[in-house]
Structure 1
Amino acid sequence: WSIPTPDGVFATVENSVHYALDTKLGAAEWKSLLPPGNGTIYLNGSGTRKAFTISLFHQLRCLDIIREGIVSFRNGASGAGGNPDDGSNRVLQHCMNYIRQMVLCRSTTQLQSVRNHTGTRITVSDVTQLCQDWTMVFDQAEKNYVQYSPSD
């Protein structure tokens, strides 16, 4: 899947009223972060189509799975940290490990201020960061979905 590297875009990372952990609206906002088909990309090779995902979409999906695990745990469900043989627990463990690896792989040394120096620390970014503009990637993923999605 050959697409150009996303352009840089300046952004300030701030707290948001969106993406709540345990509300219907928050859950819908998390789901809306992925393009149609959950960001699955299909490529044709040797007459067969093969499914892939982009790391960005994998990370966003994993963050939503972790969010769901936190909500389940808070609500007393056994699948979030209870039975180690539970399928959802294995997916949650995969996601925690995958996000850990991606943070270690892609983190920067950008300094961030600490708002509260004692007790609970809240870290926020007081500087503008150079991020990637993923708009083109989402657009290409949507085009791929339209091209390869099964027709009714």
Structure 2
Amino acid sequence: MRLDHRRGSNLVFDPRITSSVALSVGRTQHYNIDEPDTDMEWSKLIHSGGHFVHLKNGTGEVRKHAVTMLHQFKCLDVIRQQYSGRSDAPISPLTLQCINYLRQSILCNLDIGLESATNTWGTVAKSAEYVCMDWSELYKAVEYNQQVFREAHTPL
């Protein structure tokens, strides 16, 4: 079996997110904890090729990297599955790692917006509109990288 490493020479990950999208934040009937379509909805948030991209380092060696947004979605899904009670097992080390990772992500991506609350628990009183970077452009960049990687690592 021979691989043509030149086919992977275009192995890049450089999402150029230039457009914005509106996001309505509020209650939704999607992304529940344990409904019939829940697993499918959560799996669609994580790219079909997984949450990793592959890049060459300075010596030409290909290294795997997690895409932050997809890694965050993966962690939310890990926590959701643990919370759903599908397992009687104690909280897994992966779940604890994900909780810590999301805590750090929230701190690092500080959002100082204000949300109205209806009670002392902080339940959001109404939905709100946010302007966000267009995440579909990130998905396209991930897909391109994964496609180039697959083609470069397919035997000739």
TM class, shorter-length: 0.7 to 0.9
- 1:65 corresponding residue in structure 2: 78
Q: Report the Cα distance in structure 2 between the residues aligned to 1:126 and 1:23, rounded to whole angstroms.
A: 23
In structure 2, list runs of 5 or more residues that go unmatched. Answer: 1-12
Distance 1:49 1:129, change over 3 A: same
- 2:53 corresponding residue in structure 1: 41
- 1:15 corresponding residue in structure 2: 27
Q: TM-score, normalised by structure 2?
A: 0.78
In structure 1, list runs of 5 or more residues that go unmatched. Answer: 82-88
98-107 or 58-67, larger mean C-alpha shift: 98-107
CA contact (8 A) 1:42 1:148 kept: yes
- 1:26 corresponding residue in structure 2: 38
Q: Report the Cα distance in structure 1 between the residues aligned to 2:125 and 2:106, rounded to whole angstroms.
A: 17
CA contact (8 A) 2:26 2:124 kept: no
Distance 1:77 1:151, change over 3 A: farther
Q: Report the Cα distance in structure 1 between the residues aligned to 2:18 and 2:70, rounded to whole angstroms.
A: 14
Over residues 5-54 of structure 1, what are the superposed CA-to-partner deviations in whole Å (9 max), with x where a residue is unaligned? 45332322121111121134101110111112212101123343110011
- 2:137 corresponding residue in structure 1: 136
The residue type paired with residue 42 of structure 1 is H
Q: TM-score, normalised by structure 1?
A: 0.80
Helix, strand or coil for the counterpart of 2:139?
helix
Q: Which has the higher contact order (CA 8 A, sep 6+)?
A: 2
- Superposition CA RMSD, Å: 2.1
- Asked if 1:77 is matched to 2:88, the reply is yes
- 2:119 corresponding residue in structure 1: 117
Q: Report the Cα distance in structure 1 between the residues aligned to 2:125 and 2:65, rounded to whole angstroms.
A: 34
Q: Report the Cα distance in structure 1 between the residues aligned to 2:87 and 2:149, rounded to whole angstroms.
A: 40
Q: Report the Cα distance in structure 1 between the residues aligned to 2:46 and 2:81, rounded to whole angstroms.
A: 16
Q: Report runs of 4+ in structure 1 exceeding 6 Å deviation.
A: none
Q: CA deviation at 1:107?
A: 2.9
Aligned length: 140
Larger Rg: 2
CA contact (8 A) 2:27 2:127 kept: no
Q: Report the Cα distance in structure 1 between the residues aligned to 2:82 and 2:111, rounded to whole angstroms.
A: 28
